[in-house]
Amino acid sequence: MRKLDIQSIEDIAIGAALLGTGGGGDPYIGKLMAIQAVEEFGPITLLEADEVPDDALVVPTAMMGAPTVMVEKVPSGEEVIGAFNTLKNYLGQEIYATIPIEAGGVNSMIPLALAARLGIPVVDTDGMGRAFPELQMVTFHLNDVSATPMVICDEKGNNLMLNTVDNVWTEKLARSATVVMGGSVMLAIYPMKGNQLKSAGIHGIITLTEEIGKAIRGAKAKKVDPIKAVLDITGGYELFRGKISDVSRRTVGGFARGESKLIGIDSYKGKTLTLNFQNEHLIARTEEEVLATVPDLIAVLDSETAHPITTEGLRYGARCVVIGIPCNSKWRTEKGIATVGPRYFGYDIDYIPVEERVMNKRGDK
């Protein structure tokens, strides 16, 4: 157990935006929500998963929708409390703690803001170890935890309680409701017991994001290369360096979909990288080869500062480093790859772990 203060939040916001792999919403907006809550209600209690009683109820809280919409529809802290309390009343049981469902600019911060406001702890666990665009794309789903009962709230005061036959139906129904409700909504979802959290979650995620944020922030003072600092702490690989030459993006079906192109610089001169995304980056490839795919993480960083850049933050001419980070091993199972691998997203590409792709390439040379 430890406390998260405003400096922690600043660092978590940066690290989570990096693990958010282009999606997860604007880190600035999320940060402001959490900082405001801590200023008003004091530091947040962060528990390790082991500190949660096996039969205690834990409920992840999150925003759902296209990050492009979230930027224009800044959430108040109140909406998610509405979703959380509606679910609590329906379940007829106190909720012991909340957790983030994923790492990402907004979704790392919403549980922190809620925890501060309600005076409950956050557990240092999520369901992705990164960000993914759909509700069933969590390790809880791989362990047969039901996404429902779940509650969706919008800023107008509408709320929906879902009870579905499986988590894919949850995604379908919640996504269509999100579109009707204006493109982004607040969720209380995947209610689970402490023992489910322990066996199904990805642990230490908030601490990891904080350390990534600290490394990026501290690199300048320590006069180390911030990109190298990120690669060291995440176990990642540099995939490409280039300048953004094109971004096409449309908000469709409740997602931000599109692709961006980078023209190689330095040792990548003459090559072009294409990044495909659905909220998050899915595929990184040049004309010749695939460099990385989901579920491995593909992050675009500012080449000077190593600050992560979300897909909606990509600007023509910006100099970037694209890195690949091995995903949590929970995703590297048959069910994991079926749930979040490149074929699920419609790409005719086999999943090969990013470290193998990098090694094969080095072997070629």
Element holding 60 (H helix, E strand): strand 57-65
Contact (Cβ atoms closer than 8 angstroms) between residue 20 and residue 30: no
Residue 224: CB minimum distance to a copy of itself, A: 50
Q: Which is nearer to a copy of itself, 182 or 264 (CB)?
A: 182
Kindly list the residues in this chain that would bind a copy of itself in the complex (CB under 8 A): 156-165, 169, 172-173, 176-177, 179-181
Residue 90: CB minimum distance to a copy of itself, A: 8
138 vs 127: CA distance, rounded Å: 5
Q: Which is nearer to a copy of itself, 157 or 270 (CB)?
A: 157
State the amino acid at position 3 in one-letter form: K
State the amino acid at position 249 in one-letter form: R
241 vs 226: CA distance, rounded Å: 14
Nearest to 320 by CA among 280, 263, 237, 269: 263
171 vs 184: CA distance, rounded Å: 14
Residue 80: Cβ-neighbour burial (10 angstroms; 0-12, 13-18, 19+): buried
Q: Which is nearer to a copy of itself, 172 or 243 (CB)?
A: 172
223 vs 290: CA distance, rounded Å: 33
Q: Which is nearer to a copy of itself, 160 or 294 (CB)?
A: 160
Q: Is 133 helix (H, G, I), strand (E, B) or coil?
A: coil
Residue 20: CB minimum distance to a copy of itself, A: 27
Residue 187: CB minimum distance to a copy of itself, A: 14
Residue 130: CB minimum distance to a copy of itself, A: 27
Q: Which is nearer to a copy of itself, 78 or 266 (CB)?
A: 78
State the amino acid at position 141 in one-letter form: H
Residue 89: CB minimum distance to a copy of itself, A: 10
Q: Which is nearer to a copy of itself, 180 or 338 (CB)?
A: 180
Residue 165: CB minimum distance to a copy of itself, A: 4
Q: Which is nearer to a copy of itself, 161 or 352 (CB)?
A: 161
312 vs 301: CA distance, rounded Å: 13
